[in-house]
């Protein structure tokens, strides 16, 4: 049933992409910005591999923004910490999906939201002994989080420590594999991601359960540009984002309708 839901959602989003891209007004690109580098992490259903290329809900939004701005790009997938380093140290690089935290506010140019996440705790379905009602109920449970991710930083602020309650990983697939192997009790992920992750890892639908939403980790995430990017490029992308905001695909994804 979950795979059927995923397939229907994907069919809807693909049809919206076709309509939305046909409606977008395309700007004439400045010669210096004919192509641009874009980095991200793997994070189904927003960034996932399909037939050898990066696809997914917010990836479709980012591609629409680039098309609207008259830019070409090849989206590169890295572990989050590596993608963050590239975007924070290299001019004219875009990164998504970036949580807009106070610590990051002055480190990037914020183009605009391209996704909505509602993160929480995910466990294996057969771990019926794990029934938390609050983060404070976790005791000595171990959670897998991606290195450099804002959710891990928030959990550390709650007093959790690396090597004890927190197990850091390179990317979401590694976090999920730690869960599947019984190395950790939970992963942090979006409830909407579960059927896509189970499909990506060829798991039986329903292998995992979303057991506790964490309101502090619910937020829109952004397409951002490196701080030392050209101001003309930033303005072009921000204008393109305003145009894409008017499309059906944008409203569908940013509302979490899938």
Res. 15: pLDDT tops 60: no
Q: What is the pLDDT of residues 69-120, one digit of tens each?
A: 999 888 999 999 999 999 999 999 999 999 999 999 999 999 999 999 999 9
Higher pLDDT, 9 or 132: 132
Res. 25: pLDDT tops 50: no
pLDDT at 74 (0 to 100): 85
16-45 per-residue burial string, b: 16 or more CB within 10 A, e: under 16: bbeebbeebeeeebeeebeebbbbbbbbbb
Q: What is the pLDDT of residues 179-224, one digit of tens each?
A: 999 999 999 999 999 999 999 899 999 999 999 999 999 999 999 9
Higher pLDDT, 101 or 31: 101
Res. 5: pLDDT tops 90: no
Q: In what order do the strands lie in the sheet with 208-226?
A: 72-77, 35-40, 93-99, 208-226, 108-124, 186-190, 143-146, 166-169
Res. 30: pLDDT tops 70: no
Res. 16: pLDDT tops 80: no
Band (pLDDT 50/70/90 cuts) for residue 258 is low
pLDDT at 11 (0 to 100): 55
- Provide the whole-model pTM: 0.82
DSSP 64-88: HHHHHTT-EEEEEE--HHHHHHHHH
pLDDT at 51 (0 to 100): 86
Query: What is the separation of C-alpha 218 from the centre of its chain, rounded to a whole number of angstroms?
Result: 12
Q: What is the pLDDT of residues 121-172, one digit of tens each?
A: 999 999 999 999 999 889 999 999 999 999 999 999 999 999 999 999 999 9
Res. 8: pLDDT tops 60: no
| 1-5, 54-58, 132-136, 224-228: range with lowest mean pLDDT | 1-5
> Which residue do the tokens 């002055």 mark?
106
DSSP the chain: -HHHHHHHHHHHHHHHHHHHHHHSPPPPPPGGGSEEEEEE--BTTTBEEETTEEESHHHHHHHHHHHHTT-EEEEEE--HHHHHHHHHHSTTEEEEEEE--TTTGGGEEEEEEEEEEEEEEEEETT-TT---SSGGG-TT--EEEETT-HHHHHHHHTT--BTTTEEEESSHHHHHHHHHTTS-SEEEEEGGGHHHHHHHTTPPTTSEEEEEEEEEEEEEEEEEEETTS-HHHHHHHHHHHHHHTTSHHHHHHHTT--
Higher pLDDT, 19 or 165: 165
């Amino acid at each position: 049933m979950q795979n059927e839901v995923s397939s229907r959602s994907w069919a809807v989003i693909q049809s919206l992409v076709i309509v939305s891209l046909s409606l977008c007004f395309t700007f004439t690109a400045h010669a210096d910005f004919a192509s641009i580098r874009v980095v991200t992490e793997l994070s189904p259903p927003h960034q996932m591999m399909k037939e050898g290329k990066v696809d997914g809900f917010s990836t479709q939004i980012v591609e629409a923004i680039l098309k609207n701005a008259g830019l070409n790009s090849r989206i590169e997938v890295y572990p989050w910490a590596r993608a963050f380093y590239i975007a924070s140290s290299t001019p004219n690089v875009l990164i998504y999906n970036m949580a807009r935290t106070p610590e990051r506010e002055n480190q990037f140019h914020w183009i605009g939201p391209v996704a909505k996440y509602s993160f929480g705790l995910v466990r294996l379905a057969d771990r019926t002994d794990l029934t938390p009602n609050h983060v404070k109920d976790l005791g000595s449970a171990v959670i897998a989080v991606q290195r450099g991710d804002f959710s891990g930083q928030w959990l550390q602020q709650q007093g959790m420590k690396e090597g004890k309650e927190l197990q850091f990983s390179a990317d979401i697939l590694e976090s999920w594999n730690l869960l599947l192997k019984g190395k950790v009790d939970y992963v942090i992920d979006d409830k909407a991601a579960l059927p896509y992750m189970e499909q990506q890892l060829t798991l039986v639908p329903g292998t995992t359960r979303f057991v506790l939403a964490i309101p502090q980790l619910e937020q829109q995430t952004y397409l951002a540009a490196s701080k030392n990017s050209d101001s003309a490029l930033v303005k072009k992308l921000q204008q393109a984002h305003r145009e894409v905001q008017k499309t059906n695909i944008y409203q569908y994804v940013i509302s979490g309708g899938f």
